[in-house]
Amino acid sequence: MYFRCLPLSSLLFYDRRNNNRTMAFFNPTIWLMVQNELMESSGVVDDGDSTSEVSFDDFDDEALFQTFHLNRACISFIADNIRGRTQREIQMTKPGVSADGMIMITLNYYAHGVLSLAIQEKTGTKRVDCADVIRIVSEVISGMADHFIAFPFGGEDRANVASEMERFCGIPKVLGVLECAQFKVKTSDTAALQVFQNNFGHSTVAIQMICDCDGNLLSVEENCRAGSTPPQDIWDSSLRKIELEGDVDGDLYRVIAGKDYALSKHVLPPVVQPLNEDDKSFNVAHAKLHSVMQKTLYSLKRRFGCLLKLGFAKESALDKKVLVIKACCVLHNIAKKFSVPAPPSDRRN
């Protein structure tokens, strides 16, 4: 197969070099073939899970979407890529739970923030058993981030991304939209409340993300921080800033960011006090692009209700929060490839 000889980054941006809009519109059939070959080359194979007593086929299409907020084709692709990776963990920790059962439990939790009794009964698990299951599957999915969340690198890739951004909003040399995404948590005491309380008075954890003009996530940091941490501090210590500053072409490209960020060589916040028509025009273009990130985060939280209530948090133990957030980000990008709409919601996130 022709694509086998190309690195993943080339595949992700291959259609840009053929003048298609973005990697979100990469031919679905080719994209799936590429990902399947990638998993096979990593030693991940589909064992068929022939002994499983649970199946996603037991749900009709409507029930499937209501239960997992994903469609059948998307779930099938996700399960195929997770199943082989979870076999060793199943044998070591949960011999009574099949791979599909673990995936079903985790996707249901992601969608609603709680595990339904129907899924517990279907998979034969108790609530006390499910925390480890969700942790195992979250580790597997978040570990797939390098395959499904790709920030452009190299001169040609970045030039193509910047060209797309300029066509969208008119601002040149932009690689994406930077945001410090906030996710609500609970705190156990007053001291913790002060640490996690953000500027809006909510207890949250924060993790840095970058998206493109179509709402695909291009970057999600490896660590999250307490909600009181200023976004500028998170950016200053981020791997993405280090990468841009160390790149030969780093001084040529920037990211769009909100008013909580300082103007710098790589970051473009809005003009706080526009003095002329150029400043006003820039702010209009900036707002158009920045709104894409707001819509992306809104859609992310609608699809994955677990992100609305991440439970109790300790500043010294945020790794489990990162696993769930990053896993949901991976699934967000996969869902976009399958054009799965976010579930309707009347709540404010």
Query: Per-residue DSSP letters for 176-194?
Result: EEEEEEEEE-B-SSHHHHH
128 touches 97 (CB < 8 A)? no
Distances (CA, A) of 267 to 173, 260, 261: 11, 11, 8
Number of H helices, E strands in the chain: 14, 6
If 0-12 CB within 10 Å is exposed, 13-18 middle and 19+ buried, where does residue 240 land? buried
CA atoms within 13 A on the CB side of 74: 21
Q: Report DSSP letters for 13-75, one per residue.
A: TTTTTTT-S-GGGS-HHHHHHHHHHHHHHTT----TTTT-S--GGGS-HHHHHHHHSS-HHHH
List of E strands, the chain: 174-184, 204-211, 217-220, 225-226, 254-256, 267-268
Rounded Cα distance, 217 and 284, in Å: 23
What does pTM read for this prediction?
Answer: 0.83
Would you give per-residue pLDDT tens digits along the chain (349 residues)? 333 333 333 344 334 333 333 444 344 444 555 555 544 544 444 444 433 478 999 999 999 999 999 999 999 999 999 887 776 666 666 656 788 999 999 999 999 999 999 999 888 887 667 888 899 999 999 999 999 999 988 778 899 999 999 999 999 999 999 999 999 999 888 888 889 999 889 999 999 999 999 999 999 999 999 999 999 999 999 999 998 888 765 568 999 999 999 999 999 999 999 999 999 999 999 999 999 999 999 999 999 999 998 999 888 889 889 999 999 999 999 999 999 999 986 544 4
- 173 burial class (0-12, 13-18, 19+ CB within 10 angstroms)? middle
Contact 79, 70 (CB under 8 A): no
- CA distance linking residue 51 with residue 237, whole number of Å: 47
CA 145 to chain centre: 8
Burial class of residue 246, CB neighbours in 10 A (0-12, 13-18, 19+) = exposed
